[in-house]
A and B are shown apart, each in its own frame.
Chain A
Amino acid sequence: MLPIERVFHCLQGKPTDRVPYAPLATLYGARLISCHLNEYYANPQKYLKGQIAVVDKLEPDILFTPFALVMEAEAFGSKAVYFEKNPPNLKIPAIVSLADIDNLSVPELENHPRLVYLLESTKLLVEQYKNQIPIAAIVSSPTDLPALIMGIENWIDTLLFHPEETRQMLELTSSFFVKFSNTLLSIGASFIFTPASFSNSTIITQQIAKNVLIPELRSQYAKINGPIVFHHGGERLLPFLEFFHNLPNVVSFVLDPRDSFDEARMIIGNNIAIMGNINGPLLLKANPKTIEGWVLKLLENRKNDSKYIMTTSNADIPYDTPLKNLNIITETIRKYE
């Protein structure tokens, strides 16, 4: 089976030759081609080359566009910091005061170099792997992007104490989310892959999550012209899964490594795919034997689950992760066939 057949059969609950596997290896491509990250995160051709190396070395069933959410915030005016071995992160938010929200506007996709990079990288991946490997386009949740535009503290403060400004920020980020996601889908991305931690009650109060943020997701997801994969965003998803269940267009949830698949199935039933649950950042220090144990345990746990895709959870696989630690995952899945 081709990866695209394997993944879409799985999403539909049809039989597959083996469990589909998708390592979140967007950063790792740079290591495989020995590309400096400043260039990797600026030149779509380099990103493509890195992902071709990922295909060659890791044989993934899904490829991801750059996992660099802060680039979306850069288009709003935030400043990012670029590292030698880590993905970019927020350095200075675009605004520091609520009064500055009025100065923000939804960026034109073709006007900002970071957005152009993200779109072009997606386009190149689609051209390279059309009808072979599905492309997951990573897009910041409209409920999380404000934290990258105004800082985590300001966004929490706004959500807690300033309903009007909350509405203003969500209007901006939701409008961007819909425009950006639909453009990515229109150029061939197979689905939108969106980490969302601010709609999770570990971060925000359950009242705000239920009354403000989840209704916002429901409203915006309905406008997306394709399937959505809901990523846990670094927080436990299970305790709140019931609130996210039945969001429009969501075809799968990526669970936190601490979440139980069996319990998740009891909440969401069998009609929706689940993904995870190898803790990506832990692959750096683990040894192959341990990783093999994790994979076998997962395979055994999900052997009767026709809608399971093995992915790495949490953040990108770290740059310095030994290749043998990743190869053992592929080998173990193959052997399990």
Chain B
Amino acid sequence: MIMNYIEITQNRIILINKIIEARRAEAVDFIRNIAEKVGYLNAINQVLEPVLIEIGEMWSAEKLSLAQGYVAAKITEDLLLYAVETKEWQVIAADRHTPVVLANIEDDFHSLGRKMVSTFLQASGWEVIDMGNDVTAHDIVDKAIELQAPLIGVSAMMYTTALNIKKVRQEIDSRNLQHKIKLAVGGAIFKVRPELVHEVGGDGTCTSATQAPQLFSKLLKTIKTI
């Protein structure tokens, strides 16, 4: 069974409203009901992902709060728990597993943004290796090399800790990996000081966690095939 344009649009509107009103359980049940009819892949691709993009745009424009972004992440996380149990998802996952390494940089202990990015990336089919808080640049790049991850995502909340991300840039460049590994940076401070992306040597950023899959896809396309 497939959804027609009107059904897709109506479902998106209903889901957006449930996220904005923080109706987590209702939103998860709602998408699960859709998935029962059209499969998880269609439910996620046609309803959840477009809604997350819209939520991300509203959040970036400060029309939504961090809490509403958090609700979107929890709904996605809850849904993934159901999706991974299905045969349909296991087949899809086997085909979509570009590894990415995520971490909060050395001295940074604010994990919320990183966890949300991890959730949204996983929902889009990325294989996320989450190294946690307070990770040195050396360890991050080592892990990316070990797992042949073409993308690294590093998060920092404050200006002072964001400056430590420069060390990741230096590690990548000093090992001559700049054409093989791209560096995405994020965290609250990059939202208020976008010039920091350049200062710390980031290859890209996004202003909300829901936009991470688009950013990572864009960066992946810039990597030269060796």
Residues of A within 8 Å of B111, CB to CB, are 151, 153
Checking B65, B74, B112, B161 against A152 with a beta-carbon cut-off of 8 angstroms, the contacting residue is B112
Q: Could you tell me if B107 and A81 are in contact, using CB atoms closer than 8 angstroms?
A: yes
Q: CA A201 – CA B107 in complex, angstroms?
A: 28
Chain A 147-164 interface residues, beta-carbon cutoff 8 Å to B: 151-153, 156-157, 159-161
The reply to whether A91 and B66 contact each other, CB–CB distance below 8 Å, is: no
B59 to chain A, nearest CB (A): 10
Annotate B36-74 by CB proximity to A: 1 below 8 A, 0 otherwise. 000000000000000000000000001001111011001
- Judge if A206 is at the interface, Cβ distance under 8 Å: yes
**Chain A residues within 8 Å of chain B by Cβ, number:** 30
Complex-state Cα separation, A236 to B62, whole angstroms: 10
Are A86 and B160 touching (Cβ within 8 A)?
yes
Which residues in B have their C-beta under 8 angstroms from that of A85?
Answer: 160
- Across the interface, A159 reaches (CB within 8 A) one of B67, B110, B112, B188, namely B67
- Chain A residues, CB < 8 A from B109: 81, 89-92
Tell whether, in the assembled complex, residue B112 and residue A202 are in contact, meaning their CB atoms are under 8 Å apart.
no
- Within 8 Å CB of A81, what residues of B? 107, 109
Across the two chains, which residue of chain A brings its CB closest to B188?
Answer: A234
Contact with A along B64-88 (1 / 0, CB 8 A): 0111101100100000000000000
Residues of B within 8 A of A92 (CB): 109
* Docked-complex contact B65 and A160, CB < 8 angstroms: no
A26 to chain B, nearest CB (A): 15
Q: Size of chain B's interface in residues, with CB distance under 8 A?
A: 22
Contacts of B70 in A (CB 8 A): 153, 156-157, 160
Contacts of B71 in A (CB 8 A): 160
How far does the alpha carbon of A234 sit from the alpha carbon of B188 in the complex, in Å? Answer: 10
Q: Which of A49-106 contact B (CB under 8 A)?
A: 81, 83, 85-86, 89-92
A233 to B22, CA, bound (A): 24
Is B158 located at the chain interface by the 8 A CB criterion? yes
Instruction: Give the docked Cα–Cα distance between A159 and B67 (Å).
Output: 9
With an 8 A cutoff between CB atoms, is A109 at the interface?
A: no
B143 at the A/B interface (Cβ < 8 Å)?
A: no
A90 to B71, CA, bound (A): 23
Q: A159-B67, A160-B70, A202-B62 are in contact. Are A318 and B112 (CB under 8 A)?
A: no
Closest beta carbon of chain B to A159's beta carbon, Å: 7
Query: A83, A86, A152, A202: which contacts B110 (Cβ < 8 A)?
Result: A152
Q: Is the CB of B160 within 8 A of A205?
A: no
- Of A90, A208, A318, which contacts B67 at CB under 8 A? A208
Q: Is the Cβ of B107 less than 8 Å from the Cβ of A202?
A: no
Q: By the criterion CB–CB under 8 Å, are B67 and A204 in contact? A: yes
How far is it, in angstroms, between the C-alpha of A201 and the C-alpha of B158 when the chains are bound? Answer: 20
- The answer to whether B159 has its CB under 8 Å from any CB of chain A is yes
For the complex, give the distance between the alpha carbons of A206 and B62 in Å. Answer: 12
Q: Is the CB of B115 within 8 A of A153?
A: yes
A315 within 8 A of B: yes
Chain B residues whose CB sits within 8 angstroms of the CB of A151 once the complex forms: 111-112
Contacts of A318 in B (CB 8 A): 159-160
Known: A81-B109, A234-B188, A258-B192; 5 extra A-B contacts, CB below 8 A, are: A83-B160, A90-B109, A157-B74, A202-B65, A234-B192
B residues at A contact (CB < 8 Å) = 22, 24, 62, 65-68, 70-71, 74, 107, 109-112, 115, 158-161, 188, 192
7 inter-chain pairs at a CB distance below 8 angstroms, sorted by A residue, are: A160-B70, A161-B24, A201-B65, A204-B65, A205-B68, A234-B192, A315-B159
